[in-house]
Amino acid sequence: MNNWLIAAGLIAGLLTSAPSAAVHAPAACKPGTEISEEGFVPIDGIEQWVTIHGANCANPVVLMVHGGPGNPSTPFAEKLYGPWEKDFTLVQWDQRGSGKTFAQNPDTANSSLTMALMARDGVDVATYATHRLAKRQVILFGGSWGSALAVNMLKLRPELFSAYQGTSQLVEYHANQDATYKRALELTRAAGDNKAIASLKALGAPPWENPRAFGIVRRITRRYEAKATQPAPDSWWQYPSQYGTAAYQAAYTAGEDYSYMQFVGMRGDGMLSRIDLPALGTTFPMPIFIIQGKEDLLTMPVVTKAYFDRIQAPTKKYIVLDKVGHDPNPLMIDAQFKVLKTQIAPLIHD
């Protein structure tokens, strides 16, 4: 494994603070060779954790935009996505305010996160990946919070991306929250779940100013999703040795807490309240694939499908999965890989 940032001299030109700056990194490998790199890359003034793994550099590159915010998938990537590395080069990134990036930059806690800032970070990571892997474009892959961030990245620099695959697509604050709240009330009433009903009524219909409201509702909807979905194996969420230290796990939790407050805001005025993907425009120059869990109670099918129907793209497809909710499970992971390999990869010519 190369720790390619710490090894001095590998990067020819580093990012500046300008949002459109490019990383002119030397190509890391040639087609037919394997790549396995992990390290910090300077992104818009701070060092951010990026990993690159793949069996063959000739394969298409997938930039994975994690959810949360504050929930990087890098600690669990080998178990979730390891088999994908035979067919794709996977680039993963701990976003500003999360995981190893937060641990490396604890002063981040004294600043604010915005969608615009994180979208600039994301396109700079994509630019880095194209230079490092000698590719013209990358496939963009996002889920939950990461799906909203990914669409902002698509709109900011569309020429960097050959296709987009979104899962648990977050669309628009009011539409998503209203649909979740109404469905949660229906399910809890049907089940005679008086404790949950009382919690929901105490909050009232969204929008909420209580920063705990999102978490209260999500705990209820997760319980009901679990009744109708295939569970994920517990082994998926066990930290490997590299991430299993007390220091890393403390930093992970601290970043998660910080990012959550930036997401919801102290008075319901955080990044979530400003998400409105339709307002960005619904025309895209690249293929768009959206995978939706039928039992998803956070980014519900009714909202996602309405957004999808407005999208204009060279190719688009909406895939609904039975026994899948908002969070990853084997059915979701299998479908994501199948769509990447059989439907998106054949469209890529890079």
pLDDT tens digit string along 208-218?
Answer: 999 999 999 99
Rg (CA), the chain: 20
pLDDT band at 23 (very low <50, low <70, confident <90, very high): low
Residue 266: CB atoms within 10 A of its CB come to: 10
Give pLDDT, residue 296. 98
Dist CA 257 CA 212 (whole Å): 12
pLDDT digits (tens, 9 = 90+) for 119-157: 999 999 999 999 999 999 999 999 999 999 999 999 999
Give pLDDT, residue 26. 74
Q: For residue 242, give both structure tokens.
A: 């590299």
Are β-strands 288-293 and 316-321 bridged in parallel, bridged antiparallel, or unpaired?
Answer: parallel
Three-state SS sequence of 93-142: ECCCCCHHHHHHCHHHHHCCCCHHHHHHHHHHHHHHHHHHCCCCCEEEEE
Residue 19 pLDDT exceeds 80:
no
Average pLDDT taken over every residue of the chain: 92
- Domains detected in the chain: 35-174+232-347 (3.40.50.1820)
pLDDT digits (tens, 9 = 90+) for 246-262: 999 999 999 999 999 99
Question: Where on the phi/psi map is residue 314: left (φ > 0), alpha (ψ -120 to 50), or beta?
Answer: alpha
Give pLDDT, residue 31. 87
Residue 57 three-state SS: coil
Say if residues 99 and 72 touch (Cβ distance below 8 Å): yes
Dist CA 339 CA 342 (whole Å): 5
Say if residues 164 and 140 touch (Cβ distance below 8 Å): yes
pLDDT digits (tens, 9 = 90+) for 139-148: 999 999 999 9
Q: For residue 212, give both structure tokens.
A: 């705990």
Give pLDDT, residue 17. 37
Q: For residue 90, give both structure tokens.
A: 């996977």
Write down the pTM of the prediction: 0.93
The residue with tokens 């990026």 is 50
Residue 22 pLDDT exceeds 70:
no
